[in-house]
Amino acid sequence: MQTFLTGASYPLRALGVLRRQPPLWKYIIVPIFLNFLVGVTLYAGLLAAGFRAIDGLIAGLPEWMAFLAWVLRAVLVVALLIATGFVLVRFGVVIGSPFYSRLSERLEEHLSGVAFDAPPPTAGNVARDVARALLFEIKKLLLALTIGAPTLLLNLIPVVGSFLATAGGIALGATISCLDFFDPPLERRRLRFRDKLGYIRQGLPATAGFGLVCLGLVSIPLINLFAVPLCITAGTLFFCDRSVARDRTRRDRPQVQE
């Protein structure tokens, strides 16, 4: 439980780091403005349509389930906010990726004291980076469809189906959030998609706490406009702390004498 709470605390720690490091703000201002423009458009369309669909679903319930209507409405509203936040993060991460990558790199340099020797921005290197970024988004989309589609079918189960589907959606959303916000430091190591998933799995339950809090932040209207750079910072902090802990464990491990 303590490890779970430690992972969940990283967004709050990231807020303190950003407050103490004004030079990092220049990598945040432009993405926040872009997120605002995208967010207004998405919420104006998706939330309005989503609330109409929820009202239609609730109105179609039989009378004997009327006492569960408010619970079901709350569950569906949470699912709608998570889905809208998911779409917003997809746009926000892609649009702001050059800024977020630099934000994470500068922060890791500050924490580790080691400067990164970035490859020159040649046409070949840029094309390779863009291809990897697009492939990463496609793989996340395939992961969401592979797990999300069967999860949606749980809604067909009477009464409890919506609750089970929402729980599965939250777990999937937390995993995608970890992939999003751990990606800058992991991508600098050129890890494969399966290795990034392995990093999340090996970091449990801390990564679960981190992913759930970040998912919550990106699902809250208005807050999520500022949440992406905050969670990128938190993911880099998490990675750096875990790297230090792993290196310390290796140093303290007894050496086998041959």
Q: What pLDDT does 14 receive?
A: 93
Q: Which tokens belong to 105?
A: 């790199």
Q: Say what the pLDDT of residue 173 is.
A: 87
Torsion of CA 218, 224, 227, 228, to 10 degrees: 80
Mean pLDDT across 173-202: 91
- 58 assigned to some structural domain: yes
Measured between alpha carbons, how far is 234 from 131 in angstroms, rounded to an integer? 26
pLDDT digits (tens, 9 = 90+) for 111-120: 887 777 666 6
Is residue 119 one of the residues assigned to a domain? no
Per-residue pLDDT tens digits for 16-37: 999 998 888 888 888 888 777 8
Nearest to 236 by CA among 75, 115, 49, 109: 109
Contacts with 258 (C-beta within 8 Å, 6 or more apart), sequence order? none
Residue 202's pLDDT band (cuts 50, 70, 90)? very high
Q: 143 Cβ partners below 8 Å, 6+ apart?
A: 172, 175, 176
Q: What would the mean pLDDT of 197-217 be, rounded to a whole number?
A: 93
Residue 58 confidence class, pLDDT cut points 50, 70, 90: low
Contacts of 205 (CB under 8 A, 6+ apart): 1, 3, 4, 7
Residue range 71-85: average pLDDT?
A: 70
Residue 130's pLDDT is: 66
Residue 162 lies in a domain: yes
How sure is the predictor about 97, in pLDDT bands with cuts at 50, 70 and 90?
Answer: confident
Tokens read off for 104: 């994470």
Least confident of 79-83, 209-213, 252-256: 252-256
DSSP letter for each residue of the chain: -HHHHHHHTHHHHHHHHHHH-GGGGGGTHHHHHHHHHHHHHHIIIIIHHHHHHHHHHHHTS-GGGGGGHHHHHHHHHHHHHHHHHHHHHHHHHHHTHHHHHHHHHHHHHHHH-----PPP--HHHHHHHHHHHHHHHHHHHHHHHHHHHHHHHGGGSTTTHHHHHHHHHHHHHHHHHHHHHHHHHHHHTT--HHHHHHHHHHTTTHHHHHHHHHHHHHHSTTHHHHHHHHHHHHHHHHHHHHHHHHHHHHHHSPPPP-
When the pLDDT of each residue in the chain is averaged and rounded to a whole number, the result is 79
Q: Which of 4-8, 137-141, 174-178, 218-222 has the lowest mean pLDDT?
A: 218-222
Closest CA to 10 of 181, 140, 173: 181
What share of the chain in percent tops pLDDT 70? 76
Domain containing 161 equals: 2-114+148-244
Confidence of residue 258 (pLDDT cuts 50, 70, 90): very low
Inform me whether the pLDDT recorded for 219 exceeds 90.
no
Q: How many Å apart are CA 214 and CA 228, to the nearest integer?
A: 8
pLDDT attached to residue 225: 76
Count of structural domains, the chain: 1
- Whether the Cβ atoms of residue 15 and residue 230 lie closer than 8 Å to each other: yes
Whether 26 is in a domain gets the answer yes
State residue 129 phi and psi, 5-degree precision: -65, -40
pLDDT value of residue 208 = 94
Task: Specify the pLDDT at position 111.
Answer: 84
Task: Tell me: pLDDT of 255 over 60.
Answer: no
* Domain assignment present for 169: yes
Q: Over pLDDT 90: what percentage of the chain? A: 21
Dihedral sign of CA atoms 198, 199, 205, 209 in order: negative
Q: Which residue has the higher pLDDT, 71 or 1?
A: 1
In a domain, 131, yes or no: no
- The predicted structure's pLDDT at residue 256: 47
